[in-house]
Amino acid sequence: MKKVLLLALVALASCQKTAEVKTGTWRAVILTAGGDLPFGLDIRKEGEAYNVLVINGDEKLKMDQSFLKDDSLHIPMEIFDSEIVAKVEGDKMTGYWKKMRSDFTFVSGKFLAEYGKNYRFSETSDAPQAVLADKYSVLFLSADKKDSTQSVGVFQTKGSQVQGSFLTTTGDYRYLAGDIVGDSLKLSCFDGTHAFLFKAKIDGDNLTGGFWSGVSGYESWTATKDSSATLPDVTKLTYLKEGYKTVDFKFQNTDNKLISLSDEAYKGKVLVIQIMGSWCPNCMDESRFLAPWYKKNKDRGVEIIGLAYEKSTDTTFAFPKIKRMKARFGIDYQVLLAGTNNKDEASKTLPMLNRVIGFPTTIVIDKKGQVRKIHTGFSGPGTGKYYDAFVSDFNRLIDKLLAEKS
């Protein structure tokens, strides 16, 4: 009897054993209205926890520390109020991705992953049946055809594999990766908050297709090959109203201290004001540039202040987000809670501006306290030479302002 009981307990313990996640490369998919949205995962074990990187082309984006609970892997991205939860079954995982919207409701989609796979859309490397140009003039059109967005598509093709992005006046679509499959272009990106899927038929110099955002958002898009395609001047979209020469504000940091440009720490300095939010991937890309840049240049007489516009101004909600963002990117400069991420409401907090039309927006102020440049949006590393051009222009302007007399 005792032997039978012992065997039963051993069997029960075996059944209750926590699942193990195979380390290495996984091909993940989120199911959307447009079909499978693929991306890569690189999973490594660290003690009892897991380090997970999301792979989009050349980008490897670290998620928050992941963990097993019972038979499921939890992959959080708390800065974006986003999480993947998936049951582990050997070489496969099944579960869901869930993300909190700005109105505090949730969107979710089915998640699947398979171990040892590293292709994007096509397992084969067949020669493409169509040619993709390097640059296109692009128009996105909302499903109700009431709203449109002009964009520039930039791509790099190697065989049938494609990387690139779409540039708009308020930022870019970050790192997109995909394939030319037959006569069609397929691209995707997942970064914890964005879930982007693009499909288009390549017909000579033209592209015609659909863009799915999240699980169910949809826009149509068309593109025409155009090596000279450009966007409106992003330094003229947001500007000072007549009669103003600078910006002024007084917002609190996460220590509940009010910070103002009139503070002694900022007098006589070249200032960079970063209008941003912890929820914003383009702001994340800009912070990844500004944080190390500040460490290198702060002793030259330059300061940065981040103005965070969050989903809520409740400090119990917003302050942890800001602190987590600062820790994640090693931000040493002040980041202040300025308001909510509604653009109209954000504009009210800075009444000297005509409007805030995009996150991020970057304001550069000289030693005398006068605004010298306002740049809407940010072309991140996924845009290649456009990112390089931004960095060069930024450094050139700061060098010029630092050389000027106070």
Which residues of the chain are in CATH 2.40.128.120 domains? 135-225
Among all chains, which residue has been given the structure tokens 């959080």?
76
Residue pLDDT, tens place only, 280-292 = 989 999 999 999 9
> Do 160 and 179 contact (CB within 8 A), yes or no?
yes
* Nearest alpha carbon to residue 226 among 300, 152, 286: 152
What Å distances lie between residue 230 and 141, 166, 224, 292, 307, CA to CA? Answer: 18, 12, 13, 30, 29
Residue pLDDT, tens place only, 349-364 = 999 999 999 999 999 9
Which residues of the chain are in CATH 2.40.160.90 domains? 16-115
| CATH superfamily placement of domain 135-225 | Quinohemoprotein amine dehydrogenase alpha subunit, domain 2 (2.40.128.120)
* Nearest alpha carbon to residue 200 among 188, 217, 215, 216: 188
Task: Kindly state the average pLDDT of the residues 383-404.
Answer: 95
Which residues of the chain are in CATH 3.40.30.10 domains? 250-403
Contacts of 296 (CB under 8 A, 6+ apart): none
Task: Kindly state the average pLDDT of the residues 8-20.
Answer: 52
Beta strands 334-340; 302-310: pairing state: parallel
Q: Distance (Å, rounded) from C-alpha 305 to C-alpha 249?
A: 11
Model-level pTM?
0.89
Kindly indicate whether the domain formed by 16-115 is annotated with CATH number 2.40.160.90.
yes
- Domain formed by 250-403, architecture: 3-Layer(aba) Sandwich (3.40)
Full DSSP string of 124-172: S-PPPSS---SEEEEEEEETTSS-EEEEEEEEEEETTEEEEEEEETTEE
Query: Residue 183 pLDDT more than 60?
Result: yes
Q: Distance (Å, rounded) from C-alpha 280 to C-alpha 274?
A: 12
Residue pLDDT, tens place only, 72-95 = 999 999 888 999 999 999 999 999
Q: Distance (Å, rounded) from C-alpha 82 to C-alpha 191?
A: 10
Task: Kindly state the average pLDDT of the residues 53-77.
Answer: 94
Full DSSP string of 333-352: SEEEEEEES-HHHHHHHSTT
Lowest-confidence range among 8-17, 96-105, 120-129? Answer: 8-17
